[in-house]
Amino acid sequence: MKKVFLFLVAVSISVASFAQTKWTVDPMHSFVNFSVRHMGISFVDGSFKKFDGSVTAAKADLTDAKINFTVDVNSITTGVDMRDNHLKTDDFFNAEKFPAMTFEGSSFKKLKGNNYALNGKLTIRDVTKDVIFNVVYGGTAKDQQGNTKAGFTATTTVNRLDYNIKYDPTGAGVGKEVKVILNLEFVQAK
């Protein structure tokens, strides 16, 4: 009986050490924002209100993380309805034909301290390109309900022309470079 018990303990420890932990985005405490230069003199900021994402990892430092994210293009908002409607047209995102932007992570490399480099494939419209997000891991904490949360800030800059967003190709009115800022909180699955 003692051998059976020790065997079960050993198996449990082995399984636990290879167990994947899944985290899902908490939309109430997460934000998907962007900023683009306007007329070369100022910036227009906007955000997407509907999105979903997950992180799956076995290692505590998350360096083996599998990260996926999807954004609903129709949820774009800049605070001006006329501009938001224009952004959904074929001049920009063509939300009718391409309703989602997606990101699939390929590596999550720890740099120094809480800084990471997140490499992956970003798909906007009908184009998929490699991107690197600079990520700051804010750590973990328990909320009032006992859920474990993890926080991240991720930033990158993309050239919208690379993704077939060809409106104003000179960049004189709408800048070519778009800064993407993600403030994300994930909740650990129980």
Q: Smallest Cα–Cα separation from 136: which of 113, 110, 105, 115?
A: 115
Confidence category of residue 50, pLDDT binned at 50, 70, 90 = very high
Q: Where are the domains of the chain?
A: 20-188
Q: What are 69-98's pLDDT values in tens digits?
A: 999 999 999 999 999 999 999 999 999 999
Q: Which of 1-5, 54-58, 59-63, 94-98 has the lowest mean pLDDT?
A: 1-5
Fold of 20-188: Lipocalin (2.40.128)
| Contact assessment for residue 78 and residue 71, using Cβ atoms and an 8 Å cutoff | no
- Pick the range with the lowest mean pLDDT from 28-32, 62-66, 107-111: 62-66
At 111-130, the pLDDT tens digits run: 999 999 999 999 999 999 99
Tell me, what amino acid is at 34? F
Which residues share a beta bridge with 4? none
Query: Does the structure show a pLDDT above 70 at 4?
Result: no
* pLDDT at position 165 over 90: yes
Report yes or no: 125 and 93 within 8 Å, Cβ to Cβ: yes
Mean pLDDT, residues 168-178 taken together: 94
* Segment (H or E) for 117: strand 115-124
Specify the pLDDT at position 86: 98
What three-state secondary structure class fits 44?
strand
Mean pLDDT, rounded, for 147-169: 96
| pLDDT over 60 (residue 168) | yes
In angstroms, what is the C-alpha Rg of the chain?
20
